[in-house]
Amino acid sequence: MAGRLQGKVIVITGASRGVGEACAIACAREGASLVLAAKTVAADPRLPGTLYDTAAAVEAAGGRALVVQFDARDAEQCTDVVEKAVAHFGRLDAVVNNAGAIFWAPLADWPQKKFDLVFGVNVRAAFAISRAAIPHLRAAGGGHVLMMSPPIHTTAAPGKGPYLVSKLGMTILAMAIDAEEKENGIAAHALWPVTGIRTAATVNLGMGEDAQWRTPDILADATVELLSRDPRASAFRAWLDEEVLADVGVTDLTKYRCDPDHEPSCMSIELVDPGWAARHGRS
């Protein structure tokens, strides 16, 4: 039985671990061929996961994988990821801009190098990858651009201002792409978790604990749902992961808990929309 993404070629950035790895495996189970782009190709005991580990998992799930090492801050390397994808697989159907850098501090305490890193890996790389991909998505008759970025709100963000500007910039790029490329059959969306997601970054930065987190699989399953839709029948939306799954009738999310006995807090959506949990009757 063919999967929902059978024959599709998908570029995923930040694919060596965490959310990117989970998205790649989920797409492979649905028949996709994956172009796995990230910086890490050699094992590091401080940060588990490499592109080759993800490639092995993709192939075990029934997909095909192309590994492309790149520095997300380098625009030429971003273009190279897309060109290698098309040269190897002959087409391109979707891009998932997942690569990300995070740093939180009051504005006065942000080193310029951290600011440049966060903007380079987040919004600049998403721009460069998407710009390079659009001609190939047009040639394929349409496709998807997905940003791992949040809904847009205008509340204060003490300690997180530059980081959120970079992530919200990704959402605005998706809005523009969707409007500009609709006639070419290209749809763009943003996707953001309601709860914190357990990854090497959230663990290493001490951003919570298992009782507060879900696994990356919830974002991976939401990604599959969005990429499997007809892009010509889609319109931009800044989705929350729970909303995507509820849209297809999935409301029992217990399998995504890191701690099976505790429902995670809404820490991730509260970061960009304080008061969301109260409005939705959540803690």
Q: Is 273 a member of any domain?
A: yes
CA 10 to chain centre: 12
Q: Is 4 a member of any domain?
A: no
CATH of the domain at 44: 3.40.50.720
Residue range(s) defining the domain that contains residue 249: 9-279
pLDDT digits (tens, 9 = 90+) for 15-63: 999 999 999 999 999 999 999 999 999 988 878 899 999 999 999 999 9
Per residue of the chain (283 residues), what is the pLDDT tens digit? Answer: 679 999 999 999 999 999 999 999 999 999 999 999 999 999 888 788 999 999 999 999 999 999 999 999 999 999 999 999 999 999 999 999 999 999 999 999 999 999 999 999 999 999 999 999 999 999 999 999 999 999 998 777 888 999 999 999 999 999 999 999 999 999 999 999 999 998 877 776 666 777 789 999 999 999 999 999 999 999 999 999 999 999 999 999 999 999 999 999 999 999 899 899 999 998 6
pTM for the structure as a whole: 0.96
Q: What is the C-alpha to C-alpha distance for residues 247 and 71, in angstroms, rounded to an integer?
A: 35
Q: How many domains does the chain have?
A: 1
256 catalytic? Reply is no
- DSSP codes, 102-137: -----GGG--HHHHHHHHIIIIIHHHHHHHHHHHHH
User: Exactly one of 70, 119, 163, 239 is catalytic; which is it?
Assistant: 163
For residues 38 and 77, the answer to whether their CB atoms sit within 8 Å is no
Q: Is 2 a member of any domain?
A: no
